[in-house]
Amino acid sequence: MPSKRIFSEWFRIRRELPQGKRMILTIISFCFPAILWCVVSYVPWIWHPDMKITVAASRDDVATVFTAGDHVSKEYFPKYVEDIRTENAELKEGSKRKNQKLLRQLSPLAIEAGWIAADEAQNDEKIYLLWQDLATGKRKLPALNEENLEIIRANWAKLSATSPTFSYKALPDEPLLKLIPQGKPANPSYLPAPDEVLKTGWKSFTTPPRNEGATMGERYRSSLSIIFRGFLWACLVGVPVGILCGTYSFFSNLFEPFTDFFRYMPAPTFSTLLVAVLLADDAPKIALVFIGTLPHMILMISKTTRLLDPSLLEAAQTLGAKPGQMIGRVVLPGIMPNLYNDLRILLGWAWTWLVIAELIGVKSGLTEVIETQGRFRNFDQVFPVIILIGITGFVTDQILAWLHGILFPWAGTSGRISRAVASFVTWPVRTVAQGARERVLADELEREARYINFNTENPTTKP
In sign, the C-alpha dihedral spanning 318, 323, 329, 331 is positive
Q: Is residue 353 domain-resident? A: yes
CB environment 396-417: b (16+ within 10 A), e (fewer)? beeeeeeebbbebbeeeebeee
Do the beta carbons of residue 175 and residue 91 sit within 8 Å? Answer: yes
Q: In whole angstroms, give the CA distance from residue 270 to residue 282.
A: 15
Position 438 in a domain: no
Q: What CA–CA distance (Å, rounded) separates 293 from 347?
A: 8
Is 261 a domain residue? yes
Question: Which has the minimum average pLDDT: 138-147, 296-305, 411-420?
Answer: 411-420
Cβ–Cβ under 8 Å, residues 360 and 275:
yes
Please give the order of strands across the beta sheet that includes 71-73.
Answer: 71-73, 50-55, 182-186
Q: Do 238 and 351 belong to one domain?
A: yes
Q: Which domain holds residue 362?
A: 213-377
Distances (CA, A) of 378 to 69, 143, 224, 384, 408: 10, 23, 24, 11, 46
CATH classification of the domain holding 276: 1.10.3720.10
pLDDT band at 273 (very low <50, low <70, confident <90, very high): very high
Q: How many domains does the chain have?
A: 2
Which of 345, 361, 377 finishes a domain? 377
Any domain includes 172:
yes
Task: Show which of 330, 354, 377 is a domain's final residue.
Answer: 377
My answer on whether 149 and 110 are in the same domain is yes
147 and 217 both lie in a single domain: no
Range with the lowest mean pLDDT among 243-247, 352-356, 380-384, 405-409?
Answer: 405-409
**Residue 306 within any structural domain of the chain:** yes
Instruction: Tell me if residue 309 falls in helix, strand or coil.
Output: coil
Contact 268, 356 (CB under 8 A): yes
The per-residue pLDDT for 453 is 67
Read off the pTM.
Answer: 0.78
Q: 119 and 163 in one domain?
A: yes
**According to the model, what pLDDT value does residue 120 have?**
85
Q: Residues 301, 179: one domain? A: no
Of 98-107, 253-262, 412-421, minimum mean pLDDT range: 412-421
Dihedral pair phi/psi, residue 106, rounded to 5°: -80, -15
In a domain, 454, yes or no: no
Of 322, 353, 377, the last residue of a domain is 377
Provide the pLDDT for residue 163. Answer: 86
Contact of 285 with 364, CB cutoff 8 Å: yes
Q: What is the DSSP letter of 437?
A: H
**Rounded CA gap, 283 and 276, in Å?**
11
Contact between residue 303 and residue 295 where contact means Cβ atoms under 8 Å apart: no
431: in domain: no
Confidence band of 173 (pLDDT split at 50, 70, 90):
confident
Q: Is residue 460 in some structural domain?
A: no
- 175 and 248 both lie in a single domain: no
